[in-house]
Amino acid sequence: MVTRLNFLGVIGKIFIWTFLLGLVVIVVYPLLWMILNGFKENAELFDNPLAFPLDWSWANYAKAWNRGVSNYLMTSVLVTVTSTIATVFISAWAAYGLTRVNIPFNRTVVTLILGGLMLAPAVALVPLVKMFQTLGLYNTFWALLILYTAFRIPFTTFLIRAYMIDLPREIDEAAEVDGSSRWSTFWRIILPMCKPIIVSTVILHILFSWNEYLFAMVFTSGTGVQTLPVGLTSLMSKHGTDYPVVFAGMVIAAIPVVLLFFFGQRYFIKGLADGIGK
């Protein structure tokens, strides 16, 4: 009986390791293929797309950078940073009010906020375009900032609120006894205690805004306000595309997000586990 259990355990471990190695190949191989092809020439790419580059030249990366990727990168950074700060701050303040302040119709307000999760962005495109054109915000940086913030507040509030619910109220009472205002309590005590979920929501919002394509395509048309997902498509031409340059641009676009997730993964996983699991 013991031998049989050991045999089943070994088979189970082999299956798990095989499955995990398969996932690694599925995830890592396309990234490596994209990186390697960024060093090739167009003819070399089509001749043997699976081979290593014959000449490890950074020329394609320089071409991609000079063809507008530098401008698209700066725009994406600006939109991502500002919308992340606005979304996380507003959501954290809203979550604090919903969990720490006895406001009328608290459950109704929570329901309305969570109702925003059911609103598909594509459904609101036509009225939003008309509204932004009327307000003079169409094809501006502010359009993307408002959209990215508004559509992410419900989900971000939901996560931070779930985390704040289990924070002991005695902390607020002790701070109030010491003469701390609500703003001071939120900023100096509650917010630092929510660091794991704050980092998680920051990473999630950065992933969303960095890779978002629909709003960026519909609400921007000038090169000065286009983000990386839309800008990279301009590197492609119906008359002939230099694909290694496109791959090089995609690698440049992926590097910041990969580094962010790599350095913030510990807080990201902990924050989601504590927030969603409650």
Q: How many CB atoms lie under 10 A from the CB of residue 61?
A: 19
End-to-end Cα, the chain, rounded Å = 40
| Mean pLDDT calculated for residue range 118-142 | 86
Most confident of 1-15, 90-104, 201-215, 253-267: 201-215
Domain extents for the chain?
A: 68-276
Confidence of residue 2 (pLDDT cuts 50, 70, 90): very low
For the 68-276 domain, the top CATH level (class) is mainly alpha
The percent of the chain in helix, strand and coil, each rounded to the nearest 5, is 80, 0, 20
Q: What pLDDT, on the 0 to 100 scale, is given for residue 240?
A: 64
- In three-state secondary structure terms, 241 is coil
Cα 131 to its chain centre, rounded Å, is 26
| Higher per-residue confidence, 223 vs 83 | 83
Contact 134/153 with Cβ under 8 angstroms? no
Is pLDDT of 100 > 90?
no
Dihedral pair phi/psi, residue 234, rounded to 5°: -70, -15
Radius of gyration for the chain, computed over Cα atoms and rounded to the nearest angstrom = 24
Q: What pLDDT, on the 0 to 100 scale, is given for residue 8?
A: 66
Most confident of 65-79, 104-118, 120-134: 65-79
- The CA–CA distances, whole Å, from 252 to 10, 71, 72, 185, 232 equal 42, 12, 11, 41, 10
Q: What pLDDT, on the 0 to 100 scale, is given for residue 97?
A: 85
Percent of the chain with pLDDT over 90: 21
| Higher per-residue confidence, 211 vs 263 | 211
